[in-house]
């Protein structure tokens, strides 16, 4: 990384921008929207956006770990549907505590299936998780019989389960606290522990990692457990926020999550990126959609702008790394 940036000249302005482009983009973007959009920079709006982004954000934390190790996880959207349907359905049947426990075990089991297929059988992660995307959607429909599930309305305002999506501590909404706390924990693990270094090593250069004595299969397996764990947490927040679930509630989330990860600058080839950058990437996505909504733009404008921004970000990231805008090889 340092060597790549070095080509631009270490320490000069371009190098600084190249390394921290996402943060600069974030600040510029927030100021521009703040000036241009009425009510954008109000506390209520900022809090709302971070709160609603928290669900995608929590999932993105886990997916970042998977991507760092050089793989993909496209099954998170339908896993979120599965987890949310299950935790909401079990709430009235066996109680919130047991419901959360059973749901977490079930979701981790799905993550373990991903991990076994990709880590130990070395199957392509795109194909496996794309397959799991459909398979888990099917599982969700079998579980629910196609029906929506809801928490009994008479207990919605009293159950302690409401705390995850609707509670607050010292005036800060609980989803925000969970999102940031989890980001700090996973960020620390990834950046400062031997385990984190193994994840980067496997993603950066799998062969070298194996020759260095890293058990690649175990590391890959574990990243899918981290991803599934994050989806489980997101399911709890979502279920608690909505107090109900549809079978398709997480449909399309895999792309939003991946968009946030890519926007943050984590390389899809693995080995490069960070949790903090993903947090910023996900927040930018949330604020773009919120800003355009506040401006009253129709939904299709949001789709176009969002993806133009993502593609632009990827391009600038690549351009900064190679030191030129166009590919050197025609």
Partner 1 sequence: MKLRNALAATTAVAALAFSGAAAAETYRIGITQNNVGVDSYQTTYEQAFIESAEADPDVEAVVLDAGGDVARQIAQIQDLVQQQVDAIIIWPTQGKAVVPAVRAAHNAGIPVVITNSNIAEEGFEFIKSFSGPDNITQGSRAAEIMCDKFKEMGIENEAQIVQISGQPGYTTAIERAKGFEDRLPEVCPEVTLLETQPGDWNREKSQRVMETFLTKYDDIDGVYAGDDNMGVGALNAAKAAGREGIIFVGATNFAVGYEAMGRGEYWGSIYQSPVDDAKNALATAKAILTGEEVPFLNYFDTPKITQDNMDEFTKPVF
Residue ranges in contact with partner 1 by CB under 8 A: 38-39, 42, 44-45, 48, 52, 55, 141, 145-148, 150, 153, 166, 238, 241-244, 246-249, 251, 290, 293-294, 296, 298-300
Residue 169, beta-bridge partner list? 172
- What SS3 class is residue 151? coil
User: Shortest distance, CB of residue 104 to partner 1, whole angstroms?
Assistant: 20
User: Shortest distance, CB of residue 58 to partner 1, whole angstroms?
Assistant: 14
Q: Which is nearer to partner 1, 48 or 205 (CB)?
A: 48
Q: Which is nearer to partner 1, 56 or 214 (CB)?
A: 56
Q: What is the CA radius of gyration of the chain?
A: 20
Residues whose CB is less than 8 angstroms from the CB of residue 84 and which lie 6 or more positions away in sequence, other chains included: 235, 238, 239, 242, 245, 249, 250
Q: Which is nearer to partner 1, 146 or 171 (CB)?
A: 146
User: Shortest distance, CB of residue 329 to partner 1, whole angstroms?
Assistant: 41
Q: Which is nearer to partner 1, 115 or 250 (CB)?
A: 250
Alpha carbon distances (Å) from 182 to 97, 248, 276? 20, 25, 11
Q: Give the whole-angstrom CA distance, residue 178 versus residue 51.
A: 10
User: Shortest distance, CB of residue 280 to partner 1, whole angstroms?
Assistant: 20
Q: Which is nearer to partner 1, 159 or 248 (CB)?
A: 248
User: Shortest distance, CB of residue 294 to partner 1, whole angstroms?
Assistant: 5
Residues whose CB is less than 8 angstroms from the CB of residue 31 and which lie 6 or more positions away in sequence, other chains included: none
Q: Which helix (H) or strand (E) holds 215?
A: none
């Amino acid at each position: 990384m340092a060597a790549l940036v070095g080509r631009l000249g270490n320490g000069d302005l371009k190098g600084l921008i190249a390394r921290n482009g996402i943060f600069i983009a974030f600040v510029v973007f927030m100021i521009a929207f703040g000036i241009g959009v009425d009510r954008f920079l109000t506390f209520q709006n900022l809090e709302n956006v971070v709160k609603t982004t928290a669900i995608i954000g929590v999932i993105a934390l886990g997916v970042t770990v998977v991507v760092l190790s050089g793989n993909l996880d496209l099954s998170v959207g339908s896993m979120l549907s599965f987890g949310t349907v299950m935790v909401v359905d079990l709430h009235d049947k066996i109680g919130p505590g047991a419901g959360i426990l059973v749901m977490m075990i079930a979701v981790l089991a799905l993550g373990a299936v991903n991990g076994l297929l990709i880590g130990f059988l070395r199957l392509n992660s795109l194909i496996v998780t794309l397959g799991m995307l459909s398979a888990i959607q099917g599982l969700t429909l079998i579980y629910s019989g196609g029906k929506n599930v809801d928490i009994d309305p008479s207990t919605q305002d009293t159950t302690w389960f409401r705390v995850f999506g609707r509670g607050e501590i010292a005036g800060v909404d609980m989803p925000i606290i969970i999102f940031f706390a989890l980001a700090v924990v996973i960020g620390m693990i990834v950046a400062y522990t031997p385990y984190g270094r193994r994840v980067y090593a496997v993603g950066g250069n799998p062969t070298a990692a194996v020759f260095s004595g890293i058990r690649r299969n175990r590391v890959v397996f574990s990243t899918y457990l981290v991803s599934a764990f994050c989806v489980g947490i997101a399911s709890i927040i979502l279920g608690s926020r909505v107090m109900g679930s549809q079978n398709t509630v997480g449909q399309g989330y895999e792309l939003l999550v991946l968009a946030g990860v890519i926007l943050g600058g984590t390389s899809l080839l693995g080995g490069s990126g960070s949790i903090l950058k993903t947090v910023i990437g996900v927040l930018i996505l949330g604020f773009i959609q919120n800003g355009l909504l506040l401006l009253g733009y129709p939904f299709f404008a949001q789709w176009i702008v969002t993806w133009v921004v993502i593609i632009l970000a990827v391009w600038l990231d690549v351009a900064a790394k190679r030191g030129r805008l166009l590919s050197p090889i025609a």
